[in-house]
Amino acid sequence: AQKITQTQPGMFVQEKEAVTLDCTYDTSDPSYGLFWYKQPSSGEMIFLIYQGSYDQQNATEGRYSLNFQKARKSANLVISASQLGDSAMYFCAMREGEYTGNQFYFGTGTSLTVIP
Amino acid sequence: NAGVTQTPKFQVLKTGQSMTLQCAQDMNHEYMSWYRQDPGMGLRLIHYSVGAGITDQGEVPNGYNVSRSTTEDFPLRLLSAAPSQTSVYFCASSDSRATYEQYFGPGTRLTVT
């Protein structure tokens, strides 16, 4: 089974609108971390936001928020007030195995295009 | 701070050749990892290390070797390159005392002909 599933290969959003990028995960580990990264066309990987499995509140970082629904095993990224510079690939990732070495798993990504 | 550095940026190899991709970090991170990124596949973990002298396999370790003799360096060796190893390779390091947020190098684009 896939550890991280991103079901939206491509998304479009109007500038200044909000957009939600979906991510579901699969783990039986009680302690894990969830991450979102942005990869612009230049290729670098940019960390956006982190959510720990024990965190009670949804993580927020500026215009980014993570909608964490633990029972559903989902960790959707919400980008508010989209900007043209938000056009990029977005990857959801999970760290599991805190006591067995910590492995990371990435989803296949969502390509976001912001339309002026 | 240079962060995570990788060399070379681009490399072309012939099938059967060997080479080492270099990775170094100056953030004193214990955790380091190597990924490959292929179109439509996201990033897949090749090998990782939780500290000097300790390495372990990730999802796709076949055809690659690693060692970790210092905290700073984590080279990835291709023993006998194959066309299936054509990919973009990323090295990353994480602070294991915090959230494990990963800092990525700029990547190496490898083509095997």
Q: Which of A45, A95, A107 lies closest to B100 in CB terms?
A: A95
Q: Please give the pLDDT value at position B52.
A: 93
Pairwise CA distance, residues B4 & A44, whole Å = 12
Average pLDDT over residues B63-86: 96
In angstroms, the CA B31 to CA A7 distance is 30
For A27, B37, B42, B54, the CA distances from B109, given in Å and listed in that order, are: 31, 10, 15, 26
Q: Show the low-confidence residues of chain A (pLDDT under 70).
A: 98-101
Specify the pLDDT at position A99.
Answer: 66
Task: Tell if the CB–CB gap between B100 and A101 is shorter than 8 Å.
Answer: no
Q: How many C-beta atoms surround the C-beta of residue A105 within 10 A?
A: 22
Distance CA A113, CA A99 (A): 39
Residue B4: pLDDT over 80: yes
The mean pLDDT value of chain B amounts to 93
Return the higher-pLDDT residue of A102 and B21.
B21
CA distances from B78 to A9, B46, B64, B71, B102 (A): 31, 11, 5, 21, 23
| Cβ pair A6, A105 in contact under 8 A | no
Selected residue of A6, A106, A108, A110 to mutate for chain B interface (largest B Cβ count, 10 A): A106
Tokens read off for B70: 């210092």
Contact of B40 with chain A, judged by CB distance below 8 Å, is answered with: yes
Check if B48 contacts A (Cβ < 8 Å).
Answer: yes
Instruction: Find the mean pLDDT for residues B76-95.
Output: 95
Do the chains contact at A106 and B35, CB–CB below 8 Å? yes
Selected for mutation to probe chain A from B33, B50, B101, B108 (highest A CB count within 10 Å) is B101
The closest of A13, A10, A8, A14 to A76, measured between CA atoms, is: A8
For residues B43-66, give the mean pLDDT. Answer: 94
Position B75 scores a pLDDT of 98
Neighboring chain B residues of A6 at a CB cutoff of 8 Å: 42
